[in-house]
Structure 1
Amino acid sequence: MRKTGKKFSLIEHSVIPGFGITMGFSLLYLSLLVLIPVSMVFLNSANMGWQKFWEVALSERVVASLKVSFSTSFLAALVNAIFGLLLAWVLERYTFPGKKIIDGLIDLPFALPTAVAGIALTTLYSPNGWIGKLFAPLGMKIAYTPLGITIALIFISLPFVVRTVQPVLQSIDPEVEEAAACLGATRFQTFYKVILPALLPAVITGFALAFARALGEYGSVVFISGNMPMYTEITPLLIRTKLEQYDYAGGTAIAAVMLVISFIMLLVINLIQWWTNHRDKAN
């Protein structure tokens, strides 16, 4: 809210006019591409009736697939939030041979078809693969387990964290770190009290994007998971199975449950980010 003369306005005015028409086009665009398609999921589910809906949504196989999808996606996003920050830091704060090549490789999961990534990861981590056979004598299986699913999700969601954190790191002047060191701060204190508060909102945003991307992933996971019901079956695969069986109502019911849980989790993440931003501004 801002004061304009004797009146208060709820809209922040811009030098360039056109709020009404741009807002109208934005809402129309958002409605056509997001709101209407998503609403159809809930409308199709409503045709089942509440009893049938909850019977499908709370079935043992659906609950197991939701646990696999959300746990592996959350773990993959958490790993990427940590190592994505580390990778962004190295790329922005140091100069070394091959830096441009590494920076370009980060975007490879964007360009690589997910099915190709799934086949490559399965070949690599299967019991007979280059990496899988190293762990096989230890009794550790990677492919066709939740661990393999997590690795695939880490691979496809890594760029979201790195590319979100990099611009913020670029905006932080290295002289700020030097000033903290001159004032007697240790390296840990400089990172924890100076750098991390500025990076935290970007890290949380990258985590949310990586989590959302991993949650809806299908192509790279379907090969390495083994698709075993109650163990490595992900929810997107179960939805596709329902659709292939012409059970459209059942598939949309599972999708509706997944959408609601995803929305709640992303809302909580956004609230944490909002709280972090306002806390930093208050300080």
Structure 2
Amino acid sequence: MFTKMIGATKLAVAATAMLGLSACAGFQLDNAKGLTPSGDAFSAGLYKEYLVLAEMEFAEGDYMDSDTFAARAIASANGKPPAPEELASRDIPAAAQGGLAEARRKLMEALDGGARTAKPDAAARAQASFDCWMQEQEENFQPADIKWCKDRFDAAMAQLGTPAPAAAPKPSITFANFTVYFDFDKSTLTAQTQSTLIDAANAADDMAATNIEVSGYADRSGSEAYNMALSQRRADAVAKELTTLIGAKAPAMKRLAFGESQNKVVTPDGVKEAKNRRVKIEIRK
């Protein structure tokens, strides 16, 4: 490429090509120049990228590769973009085959994942740079040129990003539970309680719930009888609001009252405890 110095062997080959094959090689570039791409943005991008590579190889006397890239430019301009080169199409050194194979796999994954449409310019640059890398790796005597192609490929692939994995199906939810808390000696719903009940109603709707159990509790600051009645009022308030939020699809709700028994936090009698002033909601499909 830019830094290529043609060695004796390649110079001899180039000279032979000029003398014996001038009628066959090196003239696709003229056919490729000045075309108006008729395909999509990806095809147009490939045309420009391959045309640049064809011109660079022609300038260095590598007429065979110039023709290869020019032919790819022409196909792209005609709306028939070629696929990235197969590894088998070139004589790649064994030590480089693994890296190129993995690079092509990632490239195809990106292209088949929608990159041609989502980011056509970067996708075209990635493909052409991969083919550039293949061509330079086959020659395998200009490390700087190999690096130039590879770096350009890596930069384009970074622009494409990693294709997002397919979304996993949502697991079937058959149970959900929520807890709401009350102020001391109150059964009225707070703003925070309302927010939790909205979440509970949404969960019931999402799973098409067939059963909802609402259990009320109280702390031990009053008498057992008073706390039993208070826990019932709390359960009733929650059940009523849930029924309103869920609407016509609301299933029958089982209301339970446990008073000051089954406290979440064990306390001596007469102790106020916020975590015991609660209603537990269990939703089942």
| TM bracket, shorter-chain basis | under 0.3
Higher alpha-carbon Rg: 2
After TM superposition, the score normalised by the length of structure 1 is 0.21
Structure having the higher helix fraction is 1
TM-score norm. by structure 2 comes to 0.21
Greater percentage in strand = 2
